[in-house]
Amino acid sequence: MDYGLAVRIILGTLYGVFTIMRILLALLSINLNQDSDVKDSIFTLSLIQIYIISIIIIVFTFITMPDWFAWGNIPHYPNPLIWVGLTIGVFSLGLFIIAHFYLGKNYSFFLKIKQNHKFVSTGPYRFIRHPIYTTYIFFHTAIFLITGNWFFGIIWIGGICLILLLRIRKEEELLVETFGDEYITYKQRTGSLFPPIFKFLKRDTRKLDKNTRDKEE
């Protein structure tokens, strides 16, 4: 089998599974919560919809007609990076499933607080506040590595980061408004998209200093 064809089959399978999962979860969340007020602005919703539709079209165009994107191929691209991308892609799918499992019925495609909405701080949410968004970054990075095409790197990673910056700020404002001090405290000990390594190190240093002082006393 042609190596390029194998890469495109892997890409199509990975992206197809991810897209189907997102659509099913979005439809389920809409059906379960039709009476909830949507807090997204028209601009943000439109931007997200345009981005999603554009990406789907571009990906499947690349799979069926890769020569159209040959101008963006990175010269002398090392093949091992393709498998690194595949590994990251599979990992992101696993994290996506786990994050949705812990979030449960609280998930919504739209920015809203549902009836009987519960504050979730277990599983991956123990360390990061938006693990589902983290999977988007990992997944888009994986696609860039699999394609070895700088065009995908710019529109995918750049595009998703722009959307997340617009969405996260408003989402956290809504969560602070809903859960108050509980969420503020939660923000102080967690990272937004990645585990707060420096916070953990600082916390461990404080514990070490306290234990040292206790021993000296």
Print the domain residue range for 104.
3-216
Q: How far apart are CA 100 and CA 120, in angstroms?
A: 11
137 touches 157 (CB < 8 A): yes
**Residue 145: CATH number of its domain:** 1.20.120.1630
- Comparing CA positions, the residue from 88, 109, 127 lying closest to residue 25 is 109
For residue 37, give Cα distances in angstroms to 40, 55, 97, 133: 9, 28, 26, 22
The structural domain count of the chain equals: 1
Q: How confident is the model at residue 41 (pLDDT cuts 50, 70, 90)?
A: low
* Per-residue pLDDT, 116: 79
Across the strands, what pairs with 69? none
State the pLDDT at residue 127: 92
State the pLDDT at residue 211: 47
Average pLDDT, integer, range 140-161: 84
Average pLDDT of the residues of the chain: 81
